[in-house]
Amino acid sequence: MPFGNVCVYAGSNAGIDPAHADVARTLGRLLAEQGTGLVYGGGRTGLMGAVADAVMDAGGRVTGVIPRGLERREVAHRGLTELVVVETMHQRKALMAERADAFVALPGGLGTLEELVEVATWTQLGIHHKPVGLLDSGGYWRPLQAFLETAVDAGFLLPENRATILLDADAGTLLRRLEDWRPATTREWLDLEES
């Protein structure tokens, strides 16, 4: 069964490779076609704008959440189903996470990475039980995947926690995998030290 809402983290610029915007638009169309709403950062530019426009163009629902400081800089997308203006970045992230049933990261910079890692950590800690996915446009997320494997090999990340972040190059396949995802029963580090 499709999600009610998927939160998408994405760059506020489009990057150099136009294929990234194509992937963002494909994801947006798929969300709208399956009746899944988009929750995102509320911007009108870059990959953020591309995914939001694609959902709206296909008749879907889009909720943007943007801090007042960014809204004032005129980067807020005014053509959304709903635009929520909050005071801080912390409020933005909390509201986006609250309204989402799953998370997908498109290519982006430090903000995208920070948001992705935070919600994956919340899944790992059991703060929420929501799947997290990387839409791997052009191999963009492969270095992060390699880092996560290194963290497992070095003993800083349990394999079951590594499995909380799914990766796929195809938007439809990634959405299906997120729908099938179930939280793992995770061991605690303290439990491992006692055994």
Which ranges of the chain does DSSP label H, i.e. alpha helix?
Answer: 19-33, 46-57, 68-72, 89-99, 110-125, 142-153, 159-162, 171-180, 189-194
Residue 190, pLDDT above cutoff 60: no
Residue 178, pLDDT above cutoff 80: yes
Q: How confident is the model at residue 183 (pLDDT cuts 50, 70, 90)?
A: confident
CB 177 within 8 A of CB 166: yes
Rg (CA), the chain: 17
pLDDT digits (tens, 9 = 90+) for 26-65: 999 999 999 999 999 999 999 999 999 999 999 999 999 9
- Quote the pLDDT of residue 193: 52
Residue 175, pLDDT above cutoff 70: yes
- Quote the pLDDT of residue 154: 97
- Quote the pLDDT of residue 186: 58
pTM > 0.85: yes or no: yes
Torsion of CA 96, 37, 54, 8, to 10 degrees: 30
State the pairing for strand pair 62-67/165-168.
Answer: unpaired
pLDDT digits (tens, 9 = 90+) for 82-118: 999 999 999 999 999 999 999 999 999 999 999 999 9
Give strand pairing partners of 5: 37
Q: What is the mean pLDDT of the chain?
A: 92
In the chain, % of residues over pLDDT 90: 85
* CATH (residue range 5-194): 3.40.50.450
Provide the token pair at 148. 């996560």
* Mean pLDDT value across residues 125-151: 95
